[in-house]
């Protein structure tokens, strides 16, 4: 009896802790909603207002007057979607080779790739800018898409996932059936690693959507920028900031991320459930 009570108490404590953690993680999002519905003066009032206000429409109207919000969002969407699809293809293809094929220099190439993974992105900015300038891509969205078309993290992640998910017996069976490299990749590897691809897609899309430093450097025309750069320009002439307007822009910018996250999360859970049934 005492053991059952102790188990129930631990279970209750665990559930309360999880609920508190969820509420704590959701509070910044709720606070963004609250601030986006108040004026800048109301935001700095004490005690702070914890309930939504009535200035959301006004903040959004000012936001659209200050920046080309939908144009910037379209640029960001083009970059994020293009990079995500390219990363999923190139990284999964390279990872498939590293995980399931043996060739001379494989280990050395993997070590070099991991070394590239450890180089901070800030150190790559100057040589990357020089290369993009020589190619004539500075100022265009191409300068954002092509350098990000493949990355060491995605290759490493998919390699580790494929090593544990794609069994050698499955590869041998596909060879006996006459599958070449591309058919093995498309019909054998990709259906098995869809949860890993879903995670990589979510991670890549969010990283590109929130990227600020490189678009600020590469897109020299202030009228053709990505959304994060456009939102950073929301300062008035006298140097003050309308935080209600800024938070309204940040809230609207979150909507595509939430859509992508829920679609990707559903894909991950559905594929994991299929794998468990099998």
Check whether 84 has a pLDDT greater than 50: yes
Query: Cis ω on the peptide bond leading into residue 246 (within 30° of 0)?
Result: no
Q: Where are the alpha helices (DSSP H) in the chain?
A: 2-36, 40-43, 56-66, 69-100, 106-117, 121-135, 142-145, 152-165, 168-176, 181-183, 190-192, 194-210, 213-218, 227-232, 243-277
What are the DSSP calls for 167-236, one per residue? -HHHHHHHHHTT--HHHIIIIIIHHHTHHHHHHHHHHHHHHHHH--HHHHHH---TTS--HHHHHHT---
- Give the pLDDT confidence score for residue 271 in this predicted structure: 61
CB neighbours of 97 closer than 8 A, spacing ≥ 6? 103
Contact by Cβ (8 Å): 157, 98: no
Q: What superfamily does domain 67-233 belong to in CATH?
A: MetI-like (1.10.3720.10)
- Give the pLDDT confidence score for residue 277 in this predicted structure: 42
| CA-wise closest residue to 32 among 209, 258, 206, 243 | 243
- Write out the two tokens for 163: 């090593």
CB neighbours of 152 closer than 8 A, spacing ≥ 6? 113, 114, 116, 117
pLDDT digits (tens, 9 = 90+) for 183-231: 998 988 888 898 889 889 999 999 999 999 899 999 888 778 899 998 8
- Residue whose tokens read 């059936």: 177
In the chain, % of residues over pLDDT 90: 27
- Write out the two tokens for 53: 């206000």
> pLDDT category, 87, cuts 50, 70, 90?
very high
pLDDT digits (tens, 9 = 90+) for 51-78: 788 888 888 888 888 888 899 999 999 9
| CA-wise closest residue to 251 among 273, 223, 231 | 231
Contact by Cβ (8 Å): 162, 100: yes
pTM metric for this prediction: 0.86
Ramachandran area for residue 239 (φ above 0: left; ψ -120 to 50: alpha; else beta):
left
- Give the pLDDT confidence score for residue 182 in this predicted structure: 87
| Backbone CA torsion sign across 256, 147, 67, 235 | positive
Q: Tell me the angle at which helices 106-117 and 69-100 cross, rounded to the nearest 10 degrees.
A: 150
CA–CA dist 88, 18 (Å, integer) = 33
């Amino acid at each position: 009896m005492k053991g059952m009570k102790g188990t129930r108490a631990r279970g209750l404590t665990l559930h309360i802790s999880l609920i508190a953690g969820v509420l704590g993680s959701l509070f910044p999002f709720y606070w963004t909603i609250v601030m986006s519905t108040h004026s800048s003066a109301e935001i700095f009032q004490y005690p702070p207002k914890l309930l939504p206000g009535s200035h959301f429409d006004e903040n959004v109207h000012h936001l659209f007057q200050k920046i080309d919000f939908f144009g910037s969002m379209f640029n960001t969407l083009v970059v994020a979607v293009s990079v995500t699809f390219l990363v999923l293809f190139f990284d999964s293809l390279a990872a498939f080779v590293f995980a399931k094929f043996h060739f001379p220099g494989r280990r050395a190439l993997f070590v070099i790739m991991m070394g590239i993974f450890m180089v901070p992105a800030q150190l790559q900015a100057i040589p990357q800018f020089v290369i993009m300038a020589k190619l004539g891509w500075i100022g265009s969205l191409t300068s954002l898409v092509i350098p990000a078309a493949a990355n060491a993290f995605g290759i490493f992640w998919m390699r580790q996932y494929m090593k544990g998910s794609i069994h050698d017996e499955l590869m041998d069976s596909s060879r006996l059936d006459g599958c070449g490299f591309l058919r093995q990749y498309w019909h054998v590897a990709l259906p098995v690693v869809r949860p890993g691809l879903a995670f990589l897609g979510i991670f890549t899309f969010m990283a590109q959507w929130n990227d600020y430093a490189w678009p600020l450097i590469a897109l020299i025309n202030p009228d053709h920028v990505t959304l994060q750069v456009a939102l950073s320009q929301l300062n008035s002439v006298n140097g003050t900031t309308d935080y209600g307007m800024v938070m309204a822009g940040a809230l609207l910018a979150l909507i595509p991320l939430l859509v992508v996250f829920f679609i990707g999360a559903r894909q991950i859970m559905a594929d994991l459930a299929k794998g468990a049934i099998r």
